Amino acid sequence: MRSLTRKLAIAATLMSVLAGTAFAETPWQKNHPRREEVNQRLANQNRRIHNEVKEGEMSHAQAAQLHRDDRNIRREERDMAAQNGGHITKQEQRALNQQENAVSSKIGQ
């Protein structure tokens, strides 16, 4: 019984440590939430594109074009931030999200 209690205590401790680090924000994420959201979406789209190619549902040429589109969005996000002290406005975020939506709709067609 003691070993079971000890194992449960260790498991609970590990879970709390892992959960705590999963929700920790870096200072950059905390100070630039709009940029973080845009960049997370771009990273997610990158993973989706890679999965589509891996599964044979998308050609390398199609993937290259979508990656090019995503790079252009990322470049635009950086240019917008450079003009505003490292931040982007809600309106700029909305425009970037619309562009990301257009690319996202091409993934998995």
Quick check: is 17 in a domain?
no
What would the pLDDT profile of 46-101 be if each residue is shown by its tens digit?
999 999 999 999 999 999 999 999 999 999 999 999 998 999 999 999 999 999 99
Quick check: is 66 in a domain?
yes
Q: What is the CA radius of gyration of the chain?
A: 20
In this structure, are residues 2 and 60 in contact, taking their beta carbons and an 8 Å threshold? Answer: no
Q: Which domain holds residue 102?
A: 26-106
Quick check: is 7 in a domain?
no
What would the pLDDT profile of 7-61 be if each residue is shown by its tens digit?
656 666 666 655 554 556 788 677 788 889 999 999 999 999 999 999 999 999 9
In this structure, are residues 93 and 73 in contact, taking their beta carbons and an 8 Å threshold? Answer: no
Quick check: is 52 in a domain?
yes
Quick check: is 6 in a domain?
no
Q: Distance between CA atoms of 57 and 50, rounded to whole angstroms? A: 10
Domain count, the chain: 1
Burial class (CB in 10 A: 0-12, 13-18, 19+), 74: middle
Coil, helix or strand at residue 6:
helix
Quick check: is 18 in a domain?
no
Quick check: is 72 in a domain?
yes
Quick check: is 21 in a domain?
no
For residue 57, give the DSSP letter: S
The answer to pTM > 0.85 is no
